[in-house]
Chain A
Amino acid sequence: RLRKWQRRIRVSNATERNLAFALSELDRMASALGLPRNVRETAAVVYRDAVDKNLIRGRSIEGVAAAALYAACRQCSVPRTLDEIAEVSRVSRKEIGRTYRFISRELGLKLLPTSPIDYVPRFCSGLNLKGEVQSRAVEILRQAGERELTSGRGPTGVAAAAIYISSILGGERRTQREVAEVAGVTEVTIRNRYKELAEKLDIEIIL
């Protein structure tokens, strides 16, 4: 019986040690990305749920932690791309992506794809654009969604294009290069998306 006790204590220690490591990893990554406390707490809940359902088997703690953080950002409407999560993790984007799909399915997270609108506040503040420009970008994206101009397109690219357009309409022009930089897409993508949005939403852009 003493053996059994010791074993339980050993397992318990390992479990606690792993959980502590996971939580410190979540905190480290969240800090590096400047994420608010509610996102860290949400990520911790997702991670604990994954542990309770034995979803860590065969997966690295760091991989599950990164996937949990990615999911938490989306749940809290402050999305980070897989590339951004991967930058502060030692796990590859590919591994985080597959782990995310796995825990998302197993925990029944049912997350709809990220809306381009959720990227607007972060990208606009990164470009020092005022609320008015931000609101106009959101309105453009709302219309774009209804007109099926977002199906299959990357959310960050569409958001970047809408911000590029609204910055011009609002008289606070940002270059494609500047917008591309904060959005993490190429200028070519912004060009393709903004031309499509301007044409189909009948927005006149005078440079």
Chain B
Amino acid sequence: MNEHRPEESLKIENIVASAKVTDSLDLPSLASRLKDAEYNKKRFPGVVLRMQDPKIAALVFGSGKVVLTGAKSIDSLSRGLQILADQLRALGIDIPENPEYKIQNIVTSADLGTPINLNKIAVGFNLDKIEYEPEQFPGLVYRLDDPKVVVLLFGSGKLIITGGKVPEDAQRAVQRILSELSSLGLI
């Protein structure tokens, strides 16, 4: 069940991406013609669209720009964008064949396989690039410069890597943390 290999425990939990599918969109009519659309201009300037197949939420703006969140793989993200494009085409809107998109953030979970002492880590790093306030949140926040990501470390040894642009960022972050913790004798 548990392979206990830190580098094999990586799992993408969420991907956020942005794209420009057209030059302008009429949100009011778009919202009324799409079934799963939610639109409250007072509340938020974009239309919220929820897809069930790849479970993704899309934010559609009047500028023609779109934000996709919730995808658990780059593949499902692409499929989600295709589905969104098809829905807009069905409304008579011209959308490019393969809209360009940019991954803005990838959230990955991982497991070091061993419980860790957050207090010792905070001391070991001399609080550099580290924030640990258990009164407020149980995780220790570690900001890495390379890769430029933020890691949330928990006492259980599980962690969250966020802020990455490519899947490899999380992989590198875990490797770096493993080597830093072992060189500090904290793992």
- Residue positions of A touching B, CB distance < 8 A: 81-82, 97, 101, 110-114, 145, 148, 150-156
Contacts and interface: CB of A to CB of B under 8 A. Distances in A.
Contact of B118 (A101, A111, A152, A155): A152
A29 B91 CA distance: 60
A152 B133 CA distance: 8
Interface string B133-144: 111101100000
Interface stretch (B96-104, B123-131, B170-178): B123-131
Given A113-B133, A113-B134, A152 B139 contact: yes
Contact of A150 (B119, B123, B126): B119
B127 A97 contact: no
B135 A151 contact: no
A151 B117 contact: yes
Contacts of B117: 148, 151
A148 B115 contact: yes
A16 to B, nearest CB: 34
B134 A145 contact: no
23 contacts: A81-B135, A82-B135, A82-B136, A101-B131, A110-B126, A112-B122, A112-B123, A113-B119, A113-B122, A148-B117, A150-B134, A151-B115, A151-B117, A151-B118, A151-B119, A151-B134, A151-B155, A152-B118, A152-B134, A152-B154, A153-B134, A154-B135, A155-B134
Contacts of B154: 152
B61 interface: no
Given A148-B155, A151-B155, A152-B155, A112 B119 contact: yes
- Interface of B (DSSP majority class): loop
Contacts of B133: 97, 113
A150 B117 CA distance: 9
Interface residues of B, number: 19
B132 interface: yes
Contacts of B118: 151-152
Given A112-B123, A112-B127, A148-B117, A97 B138 contact: no
Contacts of A111: 127
Given A113-B133, A114-B135, A150-B119, 5 more contacts: A145-B119, A148-B155, A151-B117, A152-B118, A153-B134
Nearest to B132: A113
Nearest to B116: A151
Given A145-B119, A152-B118, A155-B134, A110 B155 contact: no
A154 B122 CA distance: 16
Most buried by A among B118, B135, B139: B135
A82 B133 CA distance: 11
Nearest to B128: A110
Nearest to B117: A148
B156 to A, nearest CB: 8
A145 B120 CA distance: 10
Contacts of B138: 152-153
Interface in B139-184: 139, 154-155
A8 B132 CA distance: 42
A7 B149 CA distance: 46
Closest 3 CB pairs of A and B: A151-B155, A152-B138, A152-B155
A145 B119 CA distance: 9
Contacts of B123: 112
A189 to B, nearest CB: 13
